[in-house]
Amino acid sequence: MTTVKRTHEITLIPGDGIGPEVSGATVEILEAAGAATGVAFEWHRFAAGAEAFKQTGEYIPKALYDSIEEDRVALKGPVTTPIGGGFSSINVTLRQKFELFANFRPVKNLPGLKTRYPGLDIIIVRENMEDLYAGLEHVVVPGVVQALKIITEKGSTRIAKFAFDYARKHGRKKVHAIHKANIMKLSDGLFLSCCRKVHEGFSEINYHEHIVDNTCMQLVMNPYQYDILLTENLYGDILSDLCSAFVGGLGLVPGANLGTECAIFEAVHGSAPDIAGKGLANPTALLQSAVLMLHHLNEGETAERVQAAIEQVYAEGKTLTKDVGGTSGTRAFTDSVLAALQSPTATAV
């Protein structure tokens, strides 16, 4: 075993439903990969959502807020927020609390899975705090509810700069700003104005603008025309789910919420209470989110080792979970990834 060189303190939110199963598998794999590369983790575990409410009477306990603020990095499994009844989304609340302005979702095929769009590689960069998700709603008169769409120059400029910075750093060639400015001329118009201004400093990157409804059609017809999708909050939420279907579904696609001080990495699928505790859950989405976390922590060697192991298991196709056409459960999949970590493919990073 390699001597520990670095230890990272991470706030872990296992979640509820299948959350504890997928987070448990992810932690086990990260610790095994870290043991081989000199990286250790100190996990600070906290409940959130329905599980936290049962324990503390709060959906997000103050101790959880304090831990994220101190650790500055969190890994989050799926949590359940009641629909309706005035409860705020746990995800939205955490993003706003820590000003996690950038939602980052790479959509990329895993080897071995048969999909309609092989070799797909799209990045979705979504503004994460404004738009209709600001949660500013009120009753005008009985039977009439108004929701306010908030778009600011600061928020639009900040997310546009994030997208173009990422494109330049990682050699991406195109950025499409997605909008509905033909109808919402002021709000979406401001978003586009900010995107255009930011692009002036990134002239080597091709810049395009597509209306959101046309984008949905274009994605289904030919998603390969896109490289980075730069979106407002609501459009990005919808498009990221649409794009996940191209590569096998939400159970595979990772997510990161990034700010200037803190970052939360999460599986974006639901808590699936119908299969909770049955050993059927697929840890891939949270596991790939953890790979993004490792890159964020500048642990590239460990990140690449984990990603190579995941891809080896999918390429072999022997121990995949039922949601992707396999017959295995969480334990068998996890054991296969752990075994793959020891193979030459995973170690030669």
Contact 300, 345 (CB under 8 A): no
Span 232-282, pLDDT tens digits: 999 999 999 999 999 999 999 999 999 999 999 999 898 888 999 999 999
Catalytic-labelled residue, pool 133, 207, 226, 235: 133
Q: What is the pTM of this model?
A: 0.93
Angle between helices 300-316 and 19-37 (to 10 degrees): 120
Domain 128-246 belongs to what topology? Answer: Rossmann fold (3.40.50)
Catalytic-labelled residue, pool 108, 180, 241, 335: 180
Q: Same CATH topology for 1-108+249-349 and 128-246? A: no
Cα–chain center distance at 100: 12
Residue 90, pLDDT score: 85
Catalytic-labelled residue, pool 5, 54, 213, 318: 213
Residue that the structure tokens 């050699």 belong to: 171
Which residue blocks in the chain are alpha helix, DSSP H?
A: 19-37, 50-56, 62-71, 90-97, 153-170, 187-199, 212-221, 233-246, 284-296, 300-316, 330-341, 344-347
In whole angstroms, give the CA distance from residue 274 to residue 255. Answer: 23
Domain 1-108+249-349 belongs to what topology? Answer: Isopropylmalate Dehydrogenase (3.40.718)
Cβ-based burial of 257 (10 A; exposed 0-12, middle 13-18, buried ≥19): buried
- At 308, the amino acid letter reads A
Residue-wise pLDDT tens for the chain (349 aa)?
578 789 999 999 999 899 999 999 999 999 999 999 999 999 999 999 877 888 888 889 999 999 999 999 999 999 876 665 555 678 888 999 999 999 999 999 999 999 999 999 999 999 999 999 888 899 999 999 999 999 999 999 999 999 999 999 999 999 999 999 999 999 999 999 999 999 999 999 999 999 999 999 999 999 999 999 999 999 999 999 999 999 999 999 999 999 999 999 999 898 888 999 999 999 999 999 999 999 999 999 999 999 999 999 999 999 999 999 999 999 999 999 999 999 755 554 4
**Closest by CA position to 26, among listed 38, 43, 6:** 43
Q: Is 237 a catalytic residue?
A: yes
Catalytic-labelled residue, pool 188, 237, 314, 323: 237
What six digits make up the tokens of 37? 């590369």
Q: Is 226 a catalytic residue?
A: no
Residue 88: phi and psi, rounded to 5, are -75, 150
In whole angstroms, give the CA distance from residue 191 to residue 178. Answer: 9
Q: Which residues pair with 321 in a beta bridge?
A: 328
Count other C-beta atoms under 10 Å from residue 208's C-beta: 13
Fill in the DSSP letter of residue 131: B
Cα–chain center distance at 137: 26
Span 192-214, pLDDT tens digits: 999 999 999 999 999 999 999 99
Percent of the chain with pLDDT over 90: 84
Q: For the chain, what are the domain ranges?
A: 1-108+249-349, 128-246
What six digits make up the tokens of 325? 């056409």
Helix (H) or strand (E) holding 61: none
Q: Is 180 a catalytic residue?
A: yes
Cα–Cα distances in angstroms (integers) from residue 14 to residues 7, 80, 211, 272, 342, in the given order: 20, 11, 37, 14, 26
Cα–chain center distance at 330: 21
